[in-house]
Amino acid sequence: MFMRLACKSLLNRRGSVVLTVLALTVSIVVLLGVEHVRQQARDSFGNTVSGVDLIVGARTGSLNLLLYSVFHMGSPTNNISWKSYQHIASGKHVAWAVPIALGDSYQGYRVMGTTPDYFTHFSYGGKRKLQFASGKAFSGVLDVVLGSEVARKLSHKLGDQVVLAHGIANTSFSLHDDKPFKVVGILAPTGTPVDQTVHVSLQGIEAIHIDWQRGVKVPGSTVSAEQLAKMDLQPKSITAFMLSLNSKMATFRLQREINNYSREPLTAILPGVALSELWQMMATFEHTLRLISACILVSALLGLSAMLLASIREREHEIQLLRVIGAPPMFLFLLIELEALLISFAAIALGTSLLYAVLVLAKDLLASEFGLHISTNIGSESNAYLALLMILSTIIAAAIPSLKAYKNARLK
Amino acid sequence: MAIHLQNVSFAYPQAPQKKVLDIPHWSVAPGEQVFVHGPSGGGKSTLLNLLSGILQTDHGEVSVLGERLDQMSNRRRDRFRANHIGCVFQQFNLIPYLDAIDNIRLAAHFAASKQAAVEHQTDELLSALGIAPPERHKPTAQLSIGQQQRVAIARALINKPQLLIADEPSSSLDQENRDSFMALLMSLVKEHQITLLFVSHDLALSQHFRRIEALSDINTAGRMH
């Protein structure tokens, strides 16, 4: 009867109730959404690289190096010489080393020059290795391996020809159209920037720039594929390289040695440390977002409280009648609280469904535009806590009108 | 005694100096039907609220159905009212968005009556009061005033109260409805042997009663000495 009374009473005031539910729904979508995206971004970033002890690039900030070498964001400051790479990679503590060369793109996706070792050594998300969905690693100079998203979005399959573009702009006018590449492998999805990367061999990168000078094509000079095969395409410089060491104990020593490398100014970073620096930078931003979403929730709850308080006034006769038929003042207190909770539950249900729908719709956009892989599973522990917090705050916010009803009942 | 008042005085806490009620002695026998008339503002509602236990005084003795209301805890008074006293007012007798059946059930809920018995009795009372089945499931706000007042009687009688307090219950009805309403009320009260305290300013209604009192004879507050 109690529940029935509360439900019918809310239905009776559906106009203001619906608006209050909507206000709370918006605040829940924002609150849960911010929290969810924040966590997912963290997980997604944290999963991007694993098993790599050091990343080495030209002298730059550690964040910058991390961003361009692993996340393919921003641009490298400078290249490093192949000699330095060989020297460091042959060190006795080094288990494996994988060079990377960046700077070109294909339809807006970054092209990364590397060695076939990359596919065997690189791992992500807790030591998961890269898998081929089809095909194999590149072996020829003009072979290319596509990340899963590149292949899916541009609907490429094995054997397709692709023409790389010079530079990293989404629409580049200087194309390496004299040397088309052939797709020999497509990687399985990883949920990391690997999915959006076009992988070629270092020799491939060297080959497409062979008749280029200072960033532009020299007109009239073209080299055929037959000629390429005979040429020495050993690169003179690369963008960065990843190191894995035999002994973790050597990491810091090697890092210091690289940072003090006398022949060339280099920077070595520990990916984990650089990531946590990134989080520290983001922390202020995250706190601000959280604060804003908390403020939205508070204002929505105050709205709920105001709506109920106004309803107490218009329900004075109802309260009086309930008293006459024997309702104790506590009943009225609980009735108003129950109404508030029903509104809150409705808003939580509506808000989570809405958030889910938004995530499903925005998933692809976030992945392609921001490289952010968001899971649509919002049933996390911390979100459950948020919902609980929301229910508790509802009870507190509704205490004001509930006490008012209680007092009205007591004093008649 | 169904009602027994001894040296009762009452003033609202907002104006402690101004006595609204001052009753040296007044009582009503069980099964009696009493008509009390008086102008509005004569302490009518205050008296009824004291008798139903919504208000409480610390001056004097308020006994209803042999129980001292002035000595009961708030909780017990609320329960006593739910179980033993029925009230019908001029208006606002029903929760407007609930239907007749839910209104009656709600009253039964506070008296903790057995559900099966309640359903049977609800049917019986509503039939006796001439509320047709289709009308029973409409929100009471959609019923006519006459129907609403009849549902209000059913609501007041569902817990088999020994005392029925009626405060101008027929004043919002037209003449024709008023007569049939009064006839129905009086027959139900007699049938169930309920003590009735009927308050109205309309002396024409006193024809239905044997005991007729003026509030000013009972209440000495505000009287010049």
Chain A CB contacts of B75 below 8 Å? 328
Query: Contact at 8 Å (CB) between B93 and B85?
Result: no
Candidates B78, B84, B142, B159: best to mutate against A (most CBs of A within 10 A) is: B78
What is the rounded distance in angstroms from the CA atom of residue A107 to the CA atom of residue A204? 17
Name the DSSP letter for residue B18: S
- Are A325 and B95 a contacting pair at CB < 8 A? no
The residue that leads in pLDDT, B58 or B139, is: B139
Q: Tokens 């399985």 belong to which residue?
A: A188
- Are B92 and A412 a contacting pair at CB < 8 A? no
> Which pLDDT score, from 0 to 100, does residue A230 have?
64
Report the CATH number at residue B143: 3.40.50.300
Residue window 118-137, chain A: list those with CB within 8 Å of chain B. Answer: none
Chain B CB contacts of A327 below 8 Å? 78, 110
Q: Which residue from B112, B122, B111, B174 is spatially nearest to B153, judged by alpha carbons?
A: B122
**Joined tokens for residue B41:** 């503002």
Range of the domain at B183: 3-218
Query: Contact at 8 Å (CB) between B181 and B160?
Result: no
Query: Contact at 8 Å (CB) between A195 and A149?
Result: yes
Quick one: average pLDDT of B139-145? 92
Q: Which residue from A218, A222, A103, A72 is spatially nearest to A165, judged by alpha carbons?
A: A103
- Are A412 and B54 a contacting pair at CB < 8 A? yes
What is the rounded distance in angstroms from the CA atom of residue B143 to the CA atom of residue B88? 17
Lowest mean pLDDT among B1-15, B37-51, B196-210: B37-51
Above 90 in pLDDT, residue B147? Answer: yes
What is the rounded distance in angstroms from the CA atom of residue A207 to the CA atom of residue A229? 10
State the total domains in chain B. 1
Domain membership flag for residue B223: no
> Which pLDDT score, from 0 to 100, does residue B138 have?
93
Greatest alpha-carbon pair distance for chain B in Å reads 57
| pLDDT tens sequence across B17-56 | 888 889 999 999 999 999 999 887 778 888 999 999 888 8
Phi and psi angles of residue A126, each rounded to the nearest 5 degrees, phi first: 70, 55
pLDDT above 70 coverage of chain B, percent: 98
> Which pLDDT score, from 0 to 100, does residue A236 have?
85
Count of C-beta atoms within a 10 Å radius of residue A316: 12
CA distances from B174 to A354, A369, B146 (A): 54, 74, 9
Of A12, A325, A412, nearest to B82 by CB-CB distance is: A325
Q: Which residue from A56, A47, A164, A37 is spatially nearest to A103, judged by alpha carbons?
A: A164
Residue window 86-145, chain B: list those with CB within 8 Å of chain A. Answer: 87, 89, 92-98, 102, 105-107, 109-111
> Which pLDDT score, from 0 to 100, does residue A5 have?
92
| A and B: number of Cβ contacts within 8 A | 63
> Which pLDDT score, from 0 to 100, does residue A207 have?
82
Query: Contact at 8 Å (CB) between A95 and A245?
Result: yes
| pLDDT tens sequence across B150-174 | 999 999 999 999 999 999 998 888 8
Q: Is B11 on the interface with A (CB under 8 A)?
A: no
- Are B96 and A12 a contacting pair at CB < 8 A? yes
- Are A326 and B82 a contacting pair at CB < 8 A? yes
Domain membership flag for residue B171: yes
Residue of B nearest to A409 (CA): B54
- Are B74 and A5 a contacting pair at CB < 8 A? no
Residue window 178-207, chain B: list those with CB within 8 Å of chain A. Answer: none
What is the rounded distance in angstroms from the CA atom of residue A207 to the CA atom of residue A220? 16
- Are B92 and A1 a contacting pair at CB < 8 A? no
Q: ipTM, 2 decimals?
A: 0.91
User: Side-chain half-sphere of A42: how many Cα atoms within 13 Å?
Assistant: 14
Query: Contact at 8 Å (CB) between A366 and A36?
Result: no
Query: Contact at 8 Å (CB) between A342 and A6?
Result: yes
Name the DSSP letter for residue A175: B
What is the rounded distance in angstroms from the CA atom of residue B35 to the CA atom of residue B44? 12
Q: Is B75 on the interface with A (CB under 8 A)?
A: yes
Domain membership flag for residue B124: yes
- Are A329 and B97 a contacting pair at CB < 8 A? no
Query: Contact at 8 Å (CB) between A251 and A98?
Result: no
Chain B CB contacts of A12 below 8 Å? 96-97
**Joined tokens for residue B6:** 């001894």
Distance from CA of A405 to the nearest CA of B (A): 15
- Alpha-carbon dihedral A204, A205, A210, A213, rounded to 10 degrees: 170
- Tens-of-pLDDT digits for all 412 residues of chain A? 889 999 999 999 999 999 999 999 999 999 998 888 888 878 777 777 788 899 999 998 888 898 888 888 888 888 899 999 999 999 888 999 999 998 888 888 889 999 999 998 888 877 788 889 999 999 888 899 999 888 988 899 898 888 888 776 666 567 777 778 899 999 988 878 888 899 999 988 888 877 665 556 666 556 666 666 666 778 888 999 999 998 888 899 999 999 998 888 999 999 888 888 888 888 888 889 889 999 999 999 999 999 999 999 889 899 999 999 989 999 999 999 999 999 999 999 999 999 999 989 988 777 666 666 777 788 788 888 989 999 999 999 999 999 999 988 876 5
Count of C-beta atoms within a 10 Å radius of residue A248: 10
